Structures are given as C-alpha cells and as structure tokens.
Structure 1
Amino acid sequence: MPAERLAGLLDFMQAAERLKDTLRSGATRRGRPESTAEHSWRLALMVLVFERELAGIDVLKLLKLCIVHDLGEAISGDVPAPLQTADDNRVARERQDFETLCAPLPPDVARHLMDLWGEYSAAETPEARMAKGLDKLETMLQHQLMPLQNTSFYSFNLTYGTRQTDFQPLTRQIRKDVDAGTRAIMEGAVEPGFRYRAASKDD
C-alpha cells in the first residue's frame, strides 16, 4: 500500500473518532448520555442478531449502511427527532459534513462511502429501507432502557418512525413488541430495562 494512501485512511479513522463524543438525546440505562457511535454500534449488532431473519437482504451492504449512516454527525452533531422539521436542511448539511469527513480518504474509498451514505439517505433499496427501519427500532429500544421519563416522551415513541418500520413484515413484528413494551412502561406495568422474555405472555 502506498504511504500516502495509508496516511489518508488513518487520518479518516482519527477524524471519524469524533462520533464517540457526539451525544444524542437518549441515555444509557445508568443515565449517561449516549453517543452516536454507541447507537451505530448497537444498530450494526442488531443486524448481526437478526441476520437469519433477513431473507432477500444483502447483509454486508446493510451492515455498511448502518456503520456510515450517522457519520456526518461527527462534525455538526445530532438533531433530536422531536426537533427535526421538513425544511431544516439537515440532510444537506449532514451530507456536506460527511464529504468533509471523507476528504482525507483516497478517492475510491471516499466515493464508496459517499455512495453508501447516499443510498441510505435515498431509502430506495431494500437494504437502505431496512437500515432506516432498524435505526428507528434501535432508538426506541434504547429509550426503554433509560431512567423513567415523562408520558409525552413515551407517547412520541409510539408514533416515531412508523413509515420506516411498517414497510416490511420483520420490522412490523419487532415494532409491535417494542410498542407494547413502551405502553407497558407508560402504564407502570414494567420498569425501564425490563426483559422481553419475562414480559412475554407466551412464557
């Protein structure tokens, strides 16, 4: 590998590390603010866990989409879902930030990552749509681990991302259980951090 190519790859890795310090509105079960890097890691883990259920999906492509989907936030940060609007220019800004982040990379690698980001953003392929759906579900699962929140917080979760999760049987099935868990927390039937198996009526 040419030294210049190696330097570009390493410089990108060092720049992408900023995602570890990019905080989201959610938190861990201990109440510590969650980073976007942690969200992306668990989203990728979710793909691995559900791999056998992903018939017709290119799992390697899906993993790549999940890894890059929020990388642009390493520069400008995350915008909480309740604050997002249709005209906030968020997607264009995030694309520009991702281009800036990819600048040190060799052109072929930068182009590959930008193509992945564009595919995720467009949400037209089965893999991109699945990534969008799982992204919403991972967020809602994390919200169930946070210390107890107010009713409006959980009410928002019940309508959050339905367009992305309703397109496919698997995401619909997961969504059904996740929504049931959210309602159970709202009603005081379970505490945040409950176990799904323990809460299941089938066991």
Structure 2
Amino acid sequence: MSELENILSFVRLAGRLKDTPRSAYTALGKQESTAEHSWRLALLAMTLKPKYPNLDFGRVLELCIVHDLGEALHGDIPAVDQDPTRPKSTAERDDLITMLASLAEADRLRFLDAWEDYENGGSPESRLVKALDKLETIFQHNEGCNPPDFDYAFNLDYGRKQTDFDDVTRTLRELADAETRRRIKGLPPIQA
C-alpha cells in the first residue's frame, strides 16, 4: 500500500470512535460516542485559547484528538467500572500501538508521544487537556437525558485533582458542580 492508503486505513480505523459508546447520554437521550466527546473537548479547548497565551494550542488540539484514540478497538471503560489492577491506560496504549501500525514510523512516534504526554501529564498542555477532559465529561453527564438511576453524585468527586489545574478550570469546575447539584435535586438539565 502507498503512504496515503496507509493513512486512510488508519483514519478509517479511528473512525470506529463514531460508534464507540460512552456512559454519557445526549440531551435527546442518545448514547454519546467517544468521537463526539473528543470533538467537544477540542471545541472547549479552542474557546479557551485566549486565556492561555503561553500554551501551544496546536499541541492542545493534538492531545484532545489522540487522548481516547485507543478506545476505537475495545471501547471505553467508564470510570466507575475500571479495574484498579489493570489500568485503562495499559489497554488503551496497546490498542493505540496496534492502530498506528499502518503509519510511517515518524507518524507512529508522533501520535504515541502525544498520547503519552496526555497520559502522564508531562506538559502544561496535557494537564490542561486532562482538566478539560474531566470537565467535558461532567458537563455531558449534567446535560444528558440519562437513565433514572444515573449517579450524578459521582460527578462531585470525579477528576477533582485534574480540574484544580488553574483558576480557569477551577471556575469551570464550580459551574459544573452547581449543575451537578441541580441534577441531584431532580431539576432538568440546562439546555442551549
């Protein structure tokens, strides 16, 4: 296969994220996909760019796109269902390496470097994306038309360490927590 055919093969494989369900639901009650989550995470990051003039937003967007890429092969494991003896990241890294096999070595290394930066929180960009990843998840939980037994209280502790990144993410967290408390009280979600 040619280099471009290999790239297309990789992109098609990554396209499985469109059909990879997450534990969150949309406002209309459809189960959210990993692709939808990653898209809105990138959108949230883009809107915050002016607040972070010293960060590399090309890198921020790369991290948003690659952070859940490995889920294309074996799906998402919700935080409440994760096995502490086998971290989710181990399986996702293995799956990502499998997915990257058709790409040229330089591209494989670039994608893997971005994923590892995100996973390890090794840069200010990755720490911001980790915070926004947690926040986007909470916002989606609060906006969704969820099953009656949905545990909104879980949101109040979820990702607290990551969302304490800075004043901006702490303020967004306060807004998310206020929305969570509304949902716990049985109030309807805030809609656009």
d(CA) in 1 for partners of 2:191, 2:19: 28
Instruction: Name the structure 2 match of 1:185.
Output: 183
**Per-residue displacement from partner, 1:46-94 (whole Å, max 9, x unpaired)?**
0111111123221110110000000000001100111124322321111
Instruction: Name the structure 2 match of 1:26.
Output: 24
Instruction: Name the structure 1 match of 2:82.
Output: 84
Matched-pair identity in %: 43
Q: Does 1:126 align with 2:124?
A: yes
Task: Tell me the secondary structure at the aligned position of residue 55 of structure 1.
Answer: coil
Aligned residue runs from structure 1 range 125-164, under 5 A: 125-147=123-145, 153-164=151-162
d(CA) in 2 for partners of 1:148, 1:106: 42
Aligned residue runs from structure 1 range 91-106, under 5 A: 91-106=89-104
d(CA) in 1 for partners of 2:40, 2:69: 14
Aligned residue runs from structure 1 range 12-23, under 5 A: 12-23=10-21
Deviates more, 1:109-118 or 1:142-151: 142-151
d(CA) in 2 for partners of 1:194, 1:24: 20
Contact 1:146 1:193 (C-alpha < 8 Å) held by counterparts = no
2:110 to 102, 109, 112: 112
d(CA) in 2 for partners of 1:143, 1:128: 23
Contact 1:29 1:193 (C-alpha < 8 Å) held by counterparts = no
AA at the equivalent of 1:45: L
Q: CA deviation at 1:187?
A: 2.2
Runs of 4+ that moved beyond 6 A: none
Aligned residue runs from structure 1 range 159-174, under 5 A: 159-174=157-172
Q: 1:35 to 1:180 in 2, by over 3 A?
A: same
Q: CA deviation at 1:148?
A: 5.2
User: TM-score, with normalisation over the residues of structure 2?
Assistant: 0.94
Q: CA deviation at 1:35?
A: 0.4
AA at the equivalent of 1:64: E
Contact 1:151 1:186 (C-alpha < 8 Å) held by counterparts = no
AA at the equivalent of 1:191: P
Gaps of 5+ in 2: none
RMSD between aligned residues: 1.6
d(CA) in 2 for partners of 1:29, 1:135: 19
Task: Tell me the secondary structure at the aligned position of residue 144 of structure 1.
Answer: helix
d(CA) in 2 for partners of 1:40, 1:176: 22
AA at the equivalent of 1:193: I
d(CA) in 1 for partners of 2:166, 2:132: 11
Task: Tell me the secondary structure at the aligned position of residue 189 of structure 2.
Answer: coil
User: TM-score, with normalisation over the residues of structure 1?
Assistant: 0.89
Contact 1:58 1:127 (C-alpha < 8 Å) held by counterparts = yes
